[in-house]
Structure 1
Amino acid sequence: MSAAVNVLVIGVGPHTRLNHLPALAAAQDAGLAGTVTGIDLPHAAACAVEYGTPGRPRRMPVIPVQPFPPSRRALPDAVRRVLEDVVGRDRIGAVVVATEPSVHLPYALWAMERGLPVLLDKPLTVHPGASTDPAAAQAIADDFDTLLGAYRVARRRHPKMVVSVLSQRRWHPAFRRVRELIAEVAEATNCPVSSVQSSHGDGQWRLPDELVDLSYHGFDRGYGKAAHSGYHHFDTVPWWLAAGERPGKEIDEIEVHAACTRPSDVLAQLTVADHARLLPSFASRNPYTEQDLLDLTAGHGEVDVFLNVAYRNRSRVMALGNHSLAHTTFSQRGPLPPAAGGLYKGNGRIGQEIHIVQQGPFQVLHLQVLQTLHGDDEGIDPRAVGGADHIELHVFRNNQMRSDWQRHRTLTFADLIQGSGDGTVLPTQRSARTCAVTEFLAHLNGLIPRSELASDLADHRRPARLMAGAYLSMARRAANAGRPPAPVVLDFHRAVSPAEHSLTALGAPR
């Protein structure tokens, strides 16, 4: 076993503190990770970040770097010098890129050039104005080609180089079970997935002044929901579809139609006057008129976006997809907190997620995550409907075709727990994120072979293309004064063969 890997975390915002640092603390306890050093902008680097557990607190030093425009494809020299100093001083062996996604590209390219393995947060990249500017939307697809090209070069120079994408549903036991069930029926029937209905709601109630004043996971950069959390679905659905692909039925093209709401639409759904009536203290807090808000949010990104997608093989539709991604959904927000309180987590945000996967006449899978609270302090069983950990997978199969198939079975939280050598993997997003970090570091420590990595960068061309297609459709609609634009059609080939993790496929030495 190799020595524990010292880790550089680039970006230490709320997402990193909630998700990455607890996982890194667990990796330190397991002997997989050594020191952890942070990099962030000066305002976030004013003091060390505390993480870990009350029984074993830790402090992560955070080194400041100056901001730079997201249009840059390479790091400024001053930022590069800071990073190089930290890498040498702290003997860094791996990098976590968890910055605002519009600057993922230069940081990831620097790490690969330096020969440092990368755990890259989702989405891979995004560009300001992506939901209104077709060129910015197209750049999302082009960025993947740039990343993969750099990965090929890095693998030739450093055969142990790896880039893993932290799209955690690939480690989630329920999502993995769906993929296994799809593959099982495809093997038995030669039938691929024929349709997918996939929806995710954040339960976010963003008040009118917060459309302007809260920028974290905001809309002021010209993108929104599809970049905030949409990549999970852009990745999950093609990953499921691939499990059902059969010879001659591989997906090689997609057609995408997107419709979205923007802040101006949200302000029409619930006006400033509506908010003042519903929340008596809102009027005294809000400094903006409705016209102010319309002027200030012009050009903002999408709040909610619904996609219709045709997944095709040689112009024949193999599967239809309806993908609904919404911030504005059922919420438990009530009392009016200060605008500075943030909306990344808490403030009544409740996630609800539903997927329905049809596989011709043979199988349908219903995966449901229906929450009404985050904690379990209100007398609700956390695993029951409405509980913080609710999840159910309903499996329906045509038992008239095969007597060994069950007509219906329900897999609950307890059924979906996966055993492992050191405990259990729970069917929760937090457990899945921990698995992603652990797998990455375990591979670097020589405990997991490359062939078993769940989310290698080379397998992310399809989600990058789907995300680009969504933004291209939104941008073309915006350029067409809101009227339906011409359909967006993109090729959907994989970047490499199904042996996506092989050294040969990426051009590394045999």
Structure 2
Amino acid sequence: MIDLRQGLNEGEIIMPGPVAPRIVLAGLGPYARAFYYPLLERYHSAGRLTIDTVVELSSQRELIDRYLAGRFIQPRRVVLVEEGLHCDALTIALESDDATHSAPPWGCIVATEPRAHRTYVEWAARHGMHVLLEKPVTARDLRSGGAAEALRLVDDHRFLTDISEKYGVTVVVQTQRRAHPGYRMVKEILTDVVTSYGVPITYLDMYHSDGTWNMPWEFAAREGHPYKYGYGKLLHSGYHFLDLFCWLTEVNRDSCRPPDQLLMDVTAIDARAVDTQLTDPSYERLFGEEQWRRYDGLPRPASLPEQPWGETDVVLLARSMNGGNVVTTAVLSLLQSALSSRAWLALPEDTYKGNGRVRHERMTIQVGPLLSVQVHSYQDGRSAGRGPFDVVVYRNHRLLGGEAVSRITLRSGDGPSTAESDSLNNQAREEIFQDFLAADGRRSGLALHDNTVRVLAAAMAGVIRSSQGGSGRSAVLLDAGGGDWYRPA
């Protein structure tokens, strides 16, 4: 029998074993085209799965037809649906023209725009399908409901957790840093010291920038990674780092003072603020006046001041508490309007890795006077994926033993670079994908994202309140059941 979690090398062909599980890919946007569909093709070729159905919006028909025309494996069918369908309507749309298969597929990858995540996961669970869910778990239109609507992200998580348990399916969330070899090593080092001596992580400083440079009119137009619905960085790549923070600080449960709540203060700037930071004269000097003037008159955040806009940059100050005692002080700086290699005005078809994104990622973690761990992972703007991942560990070696300073550098494989294997992050994504194929939620199952979604919802509520002149402060109860999990300052 095939071990579905065994890695698959580029070009490797394995003869099919038992009936391969049929997989639905819901969403064929830039990320799914760059990563998921090529990955599914490899596993399909190896007999480990069958690409059953691709689901996309009717408005994307031309783009999807053009993309699939160039693929060497075709899905059994493509279903185009309208935007905003609820679960029953989606079921009708997906089943009305499928006379050849009475049994539902085995699993579903949900890679749609996140406002549709709840509907697709509910649909899949009700049909007994296991799910691989792209981050964030869900999103909501935050333009009118404000902070209260942001807090309902927790209700979405509870609903999907309950329904997946009811129908006996596994939902795995694609947060690849939980499978990243560098971050796994960091957590092992932290766990060893915290559990051995009872000293918690006392300080954490996390920085991430993804170099997403949007032209002003793109803020108003984009549907993928949008800002016009009142959300931005936190429900884009920011989810990974809120989850990484929650996942790493789990080690404090084994300290002498395990935390029971998180006090947070959030500040952010939104797309309108970014539109005022770079002026038209600056753009004209960068791209030329004639080129820039071609886009005169298009809607942009500065011209729509009354519309709420999603955040581009967020700084979150946090203290995890045990009663009245501080356990961990943390600073999370999550940026999108940072260094980019974009040098063009027209938006390319590949907005995932083909629009000048440059990732800079670092972290410093202190375990009191005993240990300091630093992570450095930087791209230079010339390569979309490859780059070293450095972990530097400083120990109080007179008490802990071992080396006073050790440096570990991890790199992706030395073979030919492909969209599926060109970075440690993508290799970790494939590991989470393999967890999905094994219906194994022990590493990144939906229930394990409880604290992450709470912190996310509270942070989003703080961003919205502070943008309206209020306070960005709040308290989040950790690992608490029921509805009493949140308190605004």
- Paired residue for 1:429? 425
- Paired residue for 1:408? 405
Give 5+ residue unaligned stretches, structure 1: 156-160, 377-386, 418-424, 445-449, 497-510
TM-superposed deviation, 1:433 = 1.1
Distance 1:11 1:495, change over 3 A: farther
Distance 1:292 1:48, change over 3 A: closer
SS in 2 for 1:369: strand
The amino acid that maps onto 1:392 is: D
- Paired residue for 2:114? 101
SS in 1 for 2:373: strand
The amino acid that maps onto 2:426 is: R
1:162-311 matches, within 5 Å, as 162-246=170-254, 249-280=257-288, 281-288=290-297, 293-295=302-304, 298-311=307-320
Select 2:54's aligned residue among 22, 38, 53.
38
TM-superposed deviation, 1:460 = 0.6
The amino acid that maps onto 2:92 is: R
Q: Name whichever of 129-138 and 163-172 sits farther off.
A: 129-138
Q: Name whichever of 261-270 and 78-87 sits farther off.
A: 78-87
- Paired residue for 1:81? 92
Q: How many residues align?
A: 456
Distance 1:196 1:36, change over 3 A: farther
Distance 1:440 1:285, change over 3 A: same
SS in 2 for 1:59: coil
Deviations 1:180-236 (A, max 9, x none): 111111122111211211111011222223222334213111100111111101111
> Is 1:16–2:13 an aligned residue pair?
no
Deviations 1:353-400 (A, max 9, x none): 111111111111111111113539xxxxxxxxxx83221111111102
Distance 1:112 1:341, change over 3 A: closer
Kept in 2, the 8 Å contact 1:355–1:366? The answer is yes
- Paired residue for 1:57? 72
The amino acid that maps onto 1:232 is: H
Kept in 2, the 8 Å contact 1:144–1:464? The answer is yes
Seq. identity, %: 26
Kept in 1, the 8 Å contact 2:220–2:301? The answer is no
Distance 1:488 1:236, change over 3 A: same
SS in 2 for 1:286: coil
TM-superposed deviation, 1:6 = 0.4
Deviations 1:421-441 (A, max 9, x none): xxxx98611111111112211
Kept in 1, the 8 Å contact 2:252–2:259? The answer is no
Distance 1:39 1:291, change over 3 A: closer
TM-superposed deviation, 1:87 = 7.4
Kept in 1, the 8 Å contact 2:206–2:364? The answer is yes
Select 2:82's aligned residue among 66, 72, 80.
66
SS in 2 for 1:82: helix
TM-superposed deviation, 1:139 = 0.8
Q: CA RMSD in A?
A: 2.9
Q: Name whichever of 310-319 and 340-349 sits farther off.
A: 340-349
Deviations 1:122-155 (A, max 9, x none): 1001111179811111111221111222123223
- Paired residue for 2:146? 133
Q: Which TM-score applies when normalising by structure 1? A: 0.82
- Paired residue for 2:19? 3
- Paired residue for 2:473? 487
SS in 2 for 1:241: helix
- Paired residue for 1:319? 328
Measure, in 2, the Cα distance between the counterparts of 1:216 and 1:331.
18
- Paired residue for 1:501? none
The amino acid that maps onto 1:462 is: N
SS in 2 for 1:303: strand
- Paired residue for 1:422? none
Distance 1:131 1:238, change over 3 A: farther
Distance 1:322 1:87, change over 3 A: farther
Distance 1:236 1:151, change over 3 A: same
Deviations 1:418-468 (A, max 9, x none): xxxxxxx98611111111112211x15xxxxx4x73111110101101110
Measure, in 1, the Cα distance between the counterparts of 2:253 and 2:300.
51
Distance 1:251 1:264, change over 3 A: same
SS in 1 for 2:475: strand
Kept in 2, the 8 Å contact 1:216–1:342? The answer is no
- Paired residue for 2:355? 347
Select 2:397's aligned residue among 380, 383, 399.
399
Q: Name whichever of 256-265 and 293-302 sits farther off.
A: 293-302
TM-superposed deviation, 1:407 = 0.8
Distance 1:406 1:130, change over 3 A: farther
TM-superposed deviation, 1:94 = 0.5
Give 5+ residue unaligned stretches, structure 2: 2-17, 414-420, 483-489
Distance 1:342 1:35, change over 3 A: closer
- Paired residue for 1:111? 124
Distance 1:400 1:248, change over 3 A: closer
SS in 2 for 1:18: helix
Distance 1:31 1:311, change over 3 A: farther
- Paired residue for 2:445? 456
Measure, in 2, the Cα distance between the counterparts of 1:266 and 1:105.
31
Measure, in 1, the Cα distance between the counterparts of 2:423 and 2:407.
15
SS in 1 for 2:283: helix
Kept in 2, the 8 Å contact 1:49–1:59? The answer is no
SS in 2 for 1:39: strand
- Paired residue for 2:41? 25
The amino acid that maps onto 2:303 is: L
Measure, in 1, the Cα distance between the counterparts of 2:150 and 2:83.
23
- Paired residue for 2:418? none
The amino acid that maps onto 1:346 is: G
Measure, in 1, the Cα distance between the counterparts of 2:228 and 2:123.
27
